[in-house]
Structure 1
Amino acid sequence: MSTPNTNVASYLYEVPGPRGRRRIIIGSIISALIIAGVIGAGLWQFGSRGQLDADKWTPFLDLAIWKYLGVGLLGTLQAAAIVAILGASFGTLLALGRVSKVRWLSWLCAGYIEIARTVPVLLLIYLMLFGLPQLGINFPVLWKLAIPLTLANAAVFAEIVRAGILSLPRGQAEAAFSLGLRSSQVMRLVVLPQAVRNVTPSLITQLVSLMKDTSLGFIVAFTELLYRGQVLSSFNHLLIQTYLVVTIIYLLVNGSLSGLASRLQKKPGRRRTTIASATMALPLPTPGGQSPQKAPHV
């Protein structure tokens, strides 16, 4: 069992004990063997059907193909950056409203978060593509993808930021109040910066999911990586090879983000939530009301 001086590796769950770590290691080894077996079986199938022949991969040595896919990658990064900025900003406002003392505002933000997390992103994209134009509202192609993704991801960002706020000991806010700061100043200068810093790895991890969501851009004919891969495969008739290359690009980009999140999570000096501070942290509040004994209402 963790001691009060033991750092907690996550703000969402407690560090597993020795038995739990052994199970995780065994499960990881078994999963790795299964994945390696599946990959090996797939390569064997591809090789037996001639999909690994050199003549099918030689076209990808052409610089023009990589330039073509590079334009799609830039489109993916552009859409992801826009959604990340707008979604994080909107999500932060939702998180602040969610922990607000104002009952109707808390309920309103909670209702939006629950609805946005349950409605499929694909449905929102179809609404932007087919529904709004019938009302005379027609956005550029980029925003037909960015707006639905922003509406959906803002709810996720809100819950991540709210978890960071609730993870802080109540003494943080009390100390700020004792200095004579107003509620808005306490939240803006003390609580929110620490909360965002604590959940930065989780925010970066959410960017990985966001990067994958941009692949829905092919529905609105937005020039992103998967859409370019579809067009390229229809041109060179190398469906498997093209999609494998696109997959590798996604793995490299998303793997880099995941690696960055892991490094931030393990970075020495990063503040961790301990068992002692966890007992002072907030439980997840119900809409419109939180526990006055534990909540850093600011």
Structure 2
Amino acid sequence: MTSGSALYDIPGPRALARHRFYGGVAVLLIAALIGWVVYMLFHTHQFTYRKWMPFEYRGVQDLLLRGLGNTLTAFGWTVLLALPFGALFAAGRLSDHRPVRLLATVVVEFFRAMPLLVMIFFIFVALKVQPLWALVAGLTLYNGSVLAEVLRAGVLAVPRGQREAAFALGMRKTQVMAYVLVPQANRAMLPTIISQLVVALKDTSLGFLITFEEFLHAGKLIATNLDYDLPFIPVVMVIAPVYIGMCLLLSWLARWAERRTRRSPKVKGGAPIAAAGVVTGLPPEARQ
């Protein structure tokens, strides 16, 4: 007899046929949508040589590579600054001192609620900061505030008994945080932190609004060129896979880190364990 599941009944022949029908209809609809998109691209002459000709020029290639390098530069500085910012204000929110905790809460909540584009424009226009550093400052304040909440939530997610046991051993709070809570919280925090960095990477595209020559800004310059018949769609088809590839790489890194943290830690060193043996006869106490 076929055993049933505790959550649902195993579908019978009619249900399987119905599921196959729904699946076939879905495949046909998706194929029709893709076919319609491809037809419209050809119908609007998006694959003509004139629209793709700019990518043959060395100057256009250098422009795209320079923009990609600027994007990675802004992202690198954001990572280097946002992680310490988040760690600092997460520690402030977990502080036992009320003024420190209140100040950290105000800073984190303010920059989390403030729209990122408004912060970037304010730093660029009002404070007269260079485009690169205006973009990095805005990304750092926003993503650092989000990371502060992630770090705080990760530490608070550790079972309370771990903290109480560490304090019972006579450890100070800094020792409890550094040696007990944070190492255990890393398993829950690391994938979320890397996922937030994916958001920061995509948000670097806002730099084109303040004339920062990042990857999207370089594509905009090419797409709005009348000499190349406004190759907007070809530029999107070149730039989008690069952004998607970088985000997928970071997402893969998040999954890899999650798999690594799920493994049980191996104990190294320690005293050797004696091999078990079989002793025959009576114990020494019984022989007396």
Q: TM-score, normalised by structure 2?
A: 0.74
Query: Partner residue of 1:258?
Result: 251
Cα distance in structure 1, aligned partners of 2:133 and 2:158:
36
The CA deviation at 1:130 is 1.9
**Distance in 1 separating the partners of 2:196 and 2:46:** 35
Q: Residue type of the partner of 2:246?
A: V
Counterpart in the other structure of 2:71: 76
Structure 2 counterpart of 1:264, which letter? Answer: A
Once the two structures are superposed, the pairs formed by residues 42-53 of structure 1 within 5 Å of their partners are 42-53=37-48
Q: Structure 2 unaligned runs (5+)?
A: 1-5, 9-18, 265-288
Query: Which runs of 4 or more aligned residues in structure 1 lie more than 4 Å from their structure 2 counterparts after TM superposition?
Result: 29-40, 61-64
Question: Letter of the aligned partner of 1:119 in structure 2?
Answer: M
Pairwise CA distance, 1:167:
1.5
Which structure has more relative contact order (CA 8 Å, sep 6+)? It is 1
Which residues in structure 2 correspond to 1:13-24 (within 5 Å)?
none
RMSD: 2.9
Q: Percent identity between the aligned chains?
A: 37
Q: What is the correspondence of 1:218-233 to structure 2 with a 5 Å cutoff?
A: 218-233=208-223
Which secondary structure does the structure 2 equivalent of 1:199 belong to? helix
Distance in 2 between the 1:80 and 1:33 partners? 41
Please name the residue that 2:88 is paired with. Answer: 93
Match for residue 186 of structure 1?
176
Q: Deviations over 1:61-118 (max 9, x none)?
A: 5555333212111111111111112111111111111122222322222222222122
Distance 2:221 2:60 in 1: 11
Output the CA distance in 1 between the equivalents of 2:261 and 2:83: 26
Task: Return the letter of the residue paired with 1:57.
Answer: W
1:100-139 Cα offsets, whole Å, 9 max, x none, are 222232222222222212211111112112222xxxxx32
Corresponding residue of 1:217: 207
2:141 is aligned with 1:151: yes
- Specify the alignment match of 1:123 in structure 2: 118
Structure number with larger C-alpha Rg: 2
Q: 2:38 is matched by which residue type in structure 1?
A: L
Q: How many residues align?
A: 243
Q: Give the structure-1-normalised TM-score.
A: 0.72
Within-5 A mapping of 1:130-141: 130-132=125-127, 138-141=128-131
